[in-house]
C-alpha cells in the first residue's frame, strides 16, 4: 500500500501542491505572532509534533484568490514539526512554525510580505494565507484515512466513466441537431455562445469568485474548411472528457472574469444553475480561436456536454 506518511515525513513542504504557485520554501523564517491572526478558535485537540495536519486553505492578494483547497479540489497535508526541529531547518513554508501552536478547528491568517521572498512574485504588498486545521493524524491513521478516501473517490469516478458512451451518444445527437438548426429553446449570450439545457438543476447560478465543479465531455462542433486539418479530425470527435478512462473527477474552476477557462465556459456557466446538465456550443472565437492542437484544428467550433456538480 502506498504510504503518504513516509513521503511527507521527509519534507517540510505542503503536500498536494498547496504552494506550487509560489516558492515559499525560500521565504525567510518570518511567521511570528505579529503576522499570524486567529480568525476562529477551534475546540479540538492540540496539534502534536510528529503527526500530520489536514488543512483547508485560501491564498489571496488584494482580496483576489490565488489558490485554495476548494479550487484545487483537495485539502493539503503537512507534517507537524516540533519547535526544536523547526529551529534546525534551513528553509520552510511560513505555515510550518504555526502548526504546533494550533488546535484542531483553529482558523488563522498568515500575512506574508511580498518583499520577504528572494524573488518577489508580485511588486508589493502582502500575500494572505488563510488556513483551517481540519484534523491531525498519526502516520498509521493518515494512511488508513487516505486509503479509504481513495477507495470512495475511485468508486464515484467509476460511476462517471461508466456513462461515457451514453454521454457521447447524446452529445453527438445534439450537435447534429444544432448544426442543422433544429435545436430550439437555446440560451444565447452576447458573445455568441449557445446553451441547451438538458436537465435543469435546482441550485443557484454562480456569482463571480465562487468555485464551480463540473464534469465535461468536449467535442468538435464544426470545422473551418479553410483551416489546416492534418490529423483528419471530424465533427463529433472527442478531444477531452472527464468521462474518459481513468478520469471521472469533476474539474474545479473559479467563476467570473478571473476564471482560467475558455470564454465560452465563463459565459455559459453564468447562465445555468448548479445541478444542471447542458451542452454548451462554443463559437471558435470563444474557444481557442486561431490556435490549434493535434485534436482541435484552428477556428473550430466546440461543443461541451457539462454537468454542473458543485458550487461553493
Which pLDDT score is estimated for 121?
Answer: 67
Q: What is the pLDDT of residues 6-36, one digit of tens each?
A: 444 444 444 433 443 334 444 544 444 568 9
Work out the pLDDT band at 99, boundaries 50, 70, 90: very high
For all residues of the chain together, what is the average pLDDT? 87
Q: Residue 132 above 80 pLDDT?
A: yes
Alpha helices by DSSP H, listed for 127-248, are 139-161, 164-179
Q: What is the pLDDT of residues 201-224, one digit of tens each?
A: 999 999 998 889 999 999 999 998
- Angle, alpha carbons 67-96-63 (nearest 5°): 30
Nearest-angstrom CA–CA distance, 293 and 185: 32
Q: Scan for cell 464551480, then name that residue.
A: 212
Nearest-angstrom CA–CA distance, 6 and 79: 10
Domains defined for the chain, CATH in brackets: 4-147 (3.10.50.40), 162-311 (3.10.50.40)
Quickly count: other Cβ atoms within 10 Å of residue 136's Cβ: 24
Q: Residue 115 above 50 pLDDT?
A: yes
Which pLDDT score is estimated for 10?
Answer: 45
Quickly count: other Cβ atoms within 10 Å of residue 212's Cβ: 26
Which pLDDT score is estimated for 19?
Answer: 43
Amino acid at each position: 500500500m502506498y504510504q503518504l506518511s513516509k513521503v511527507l515525513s521527509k519534507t517540510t513542504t505542503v503536500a498536494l501542491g498547496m504552494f506550487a504557485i509560489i516558492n515559499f520554501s525560500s521565504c525567510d523564517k518570518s511567521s511570528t505572532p505579529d503576522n499570524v491572526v486567529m480568525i476562529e478558535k477551534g475546540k479540538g485537540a492540540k496539534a502534536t509534533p510528529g503527526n500530520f495536519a489536514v488543512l483547508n486553505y485560501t491564498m489571496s492578494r488584494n482580496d483576489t484568490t490565488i489558490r485554495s483547497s476548494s479550487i484545487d479540489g483537495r485539502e493539503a497535508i503537512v507534517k507537524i514539526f516540533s519547535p526544536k526541529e523547526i529551529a534546525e531547518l534551513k528553509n520552510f513554508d511560513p505555515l510550518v512554525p504555526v502548526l504546533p501552536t494550533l488546535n484542531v478547528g483553529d482558523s488563522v491568517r498568515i500575512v506574508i510580505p511580498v518583499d520577504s521572498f528572494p524573488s518577489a512574485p508580485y511588486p508589493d504588498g502582502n500575500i494572505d494565507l488563510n488556513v483551517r486545521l481540519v484534523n491531525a493524524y498519526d502516520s498509521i491513521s493518515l494512511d488508513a484515512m487516505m486509503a479509504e478516501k481513495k477507495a470512495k473517490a475511485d468508486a464515484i469516478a467509476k460511476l462517471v466513466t461508466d456513462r461515457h458512451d451514453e454521454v457521447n451518444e447524446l452529445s453527438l445527437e445534439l450537435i447534429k441537431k444544432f448544426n442543422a438548426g433544429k435545436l430550439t429553446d437555446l440560451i444565447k449570450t452576447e458573445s455568441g455562445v449557445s446553451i441547451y439545457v438538458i436537465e435543469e438543476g435546482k441550485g443557484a447560478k454562480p456569482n463571480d469568485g465562487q468555485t464551480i465543479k463540473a464534469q465535461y465531455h468536449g467535442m468538435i462542433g464544426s470545422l473551418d474548411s479553410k483551416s489546416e486539418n492534418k490529423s483528419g479530425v471530424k465533427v463529433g470527435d472527442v478531444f477531452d472528457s472527464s468521462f474518459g478512462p481513468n478520469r471521472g473527477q469533476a474539474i474545479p474552476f473559479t467563476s467570473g472574469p478571473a476564471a482560467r477557462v475558455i470564454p465560452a465556459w465563463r459565459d455559459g456557466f453564468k447562465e445555468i444553475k448548479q445541478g444542471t446538465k447542458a451542452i454548451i456550443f462554443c463559437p471558435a472565437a470563444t474557444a481557442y480561436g486561431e490556435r490549434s492542437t493535434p485534436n482541435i484544428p484552428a477556428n473550430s467550433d466546440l461543443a461541451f456536454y457539462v454537468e454542473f456538480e458543485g458550487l461553493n
